Amino acid sequence: MTNPTDQKKLRPATQLVHGGTLRSQFGETSEAMFLTQGFVYPTMEAAEARFTGDDPGFIYSRFSNPTVAMFEKRMALLEGAESARATASGMAAVTAALMGQVKAGDHVVAAKALFGSCRYVVEELMPRFGVESTLVDGTDLNQWKAAMRPNTKVVFLESPTNPQLEIIDIAAVAKIAHEGGAKLTVDNVFATPLLQSPLELGADCVVYSATKHVDGQGRVLGGVILASEEFIEAHVHNYLRQTGPALSPFNAWVLLKSLETLTVRVMQQQANAVRVADFLGEQTQIERVLYPTRKDHPQHKLAMRQMKGGGNVIAFDVRGGKEGAFRFSNALSIIKISNNLGDAKSLLTHPATTTHQRIGPVARAESGITDGMLRLSCGLEDVEDLIDDLKAGIAAVS
Ligand SMILES: Cc1ncc(COP(=O)(O)O)c(C=O)c1O
């Protein structure tokens, strides 16, 4: 069997099928699901050795589990990270990655354009524990520089942003963070590990909601934190062990099996998105289309430099504000109304009244989220059927 060092040299599609597999004594083809809370030891001496670390085996599934470990190893290979820790959801990953780095008196700088729950963690949760935060326009590097303080420990961003698909210069923000003695964490959900590599661009930590493209079939929640061994040891390992947002072995098994098809799914979803974005761009009822690799995207050049592709999500403004967006959406039948993304099914969200409703109109305006904006996560359907469906939406606002 290929040893772990050789697996690092494999290409992503191969890593996603074989990476990190642990086989039991039965030699099963498909990865086994170890649905167990704990582990037994042949002797007290063996138990002692597990706890001292002399025998690096499993102890308890809040700490680690063979199926979860396979998922973590496969994700680490794909990301090119030394270490990975899985969590029960994407928000558990974001919260652990951020909270694990700070103490009272520290300061966090983050982009304003964050997923609503991430914004809650930075703007409301962390200040309750004495960690102040400053939110900046992520596309303005001067604002990042100006926001840095001597006590800034964490810099946090997502790119492309949810839902307006702004592109933030990860390499430039990493440099600003490092010059100020802080570490950069990137939420890479929209790009997936296949289309953008934040660690290569200088980030110190990458987080994912595995609920999105990694599962990609609408079944389980999950999250993962990826970084150097040093970062995980210093900031993540103990936080997760002692506070317990562990990924269940069942969910880890679903995610592990899903990774086998990640390349095929993401590439097909992306091909559908490129075609759909071009179609929407030609419609007079659509005021604006935002898709990272389109020439009319405000950060097109940066997207081309930083990303290997635009991904499967498109944001667009329907003429007529909220009423136009609702009429358009309610006329669709194949594309489903849902706040999720990355799924095999195409999903449509109205951020202003759902995912970004809580942040209020001022924050939405600051983030460029209009009342007519829709976010479409393109799925795996035949793209001609998606376009026919969108034509019904267009007709409803004409
Ligand atoms: C950018 C981003 N980060 C984090 C999350 C949270 O992930 P989860 O729902 O798995 O907790 C989501 C989605 O919900 C997201 O879109």
Specify whether 156 is located in the same domain as 228. yes
Per-residue pLDDT tens digits for 30-46: 999 999 999 999 999 99
Segment 266-273 shows an average pLDDT of 98
Specify whether 49 is located in the same domain as 89. yes
Specify whether 205 is located in the same domain as 326. no
Per-residue pLDDT at 1:
44
* 212: CB partners within 8 A, 6+ apart: 90, 189, 340, 341, 342, 343
Supply the CATH number for residue 355's domain.
Answer: 3.90.1150.10
Give me the number of domains the chain comprises: 2
Specify whether 160 is located in the same domain as 291. no
- Confidence category of residue 368, pLDDT binned at 50, 70, 90: confident
Specify whether 283 is located in the same domain as 252. no
Specify whether 231 is located in the same domain as 266. no
Distance CA 84, CA 90 (A): 14
| Residue from 94, 115, 208 to probe ligand 1 pocket by mutation (most atoms less than 8 Å from CB) | 115
Specify whether 82 is located in the same domain as 223. yes
Specify whether 248 is located in the same domain as 271. no
Asked whether the predicted pLDDT for residue 199 surpasses 80, the reply is yes
Supply the CATH number for residue 75's domain.
Answer: 3.40.640.10
Ligand 1 atom closest to 210 (CA): 10
User: pTM of the prediction?
Assistant: 0.96
Question: Residues with Cβ within 6 A of ligand 1?
Answer: 89-91, 94, 115, 117-118, 158, 162, 187, 189, 209, 211, 221, 223
Specify whether 116 is located in the same domain as 45. yes
DSSP classification of residue 38: B
Range of the domain at 269: 262-397
Question: What is the 63 CA–ligand 1 centroid distance (Å)?
Answer: 23
* 112: CB partners within 8 A, 6+ apart: 119, 135, 136, 137, 138, 363, 366, 367
Specify whether 237 is located in the same domain as 295. no
Question: What is the 396 CA–ligand 1 centroid distance (Å)?
Answer: 31
Which residues, listed in sequence order, are joined to residue 289 by a DSSP beta bridge?
316
Which is it for the CA torsion 169, 171, 172, 178, positive or negative? positive
Per-residue pLDDT at 3:
56
Specify whether 212 is located in the same domain as 180. yes
Per-residue pLDDT tens digits for 298-319: 999 999 999 999 999 999 999 9
Specify whether 174 is located in the same domain as 62. yes
End residue of a domain, out of 259, 280, 300? 259
Cβ contact 310:190 at 8 Å = no
End residue of a domain, out of 225, 259, 293? 259
End residue of a domain, out of 241, 259, 277? 259
In the numeric block, the tokens 């559908």 are attached to 272
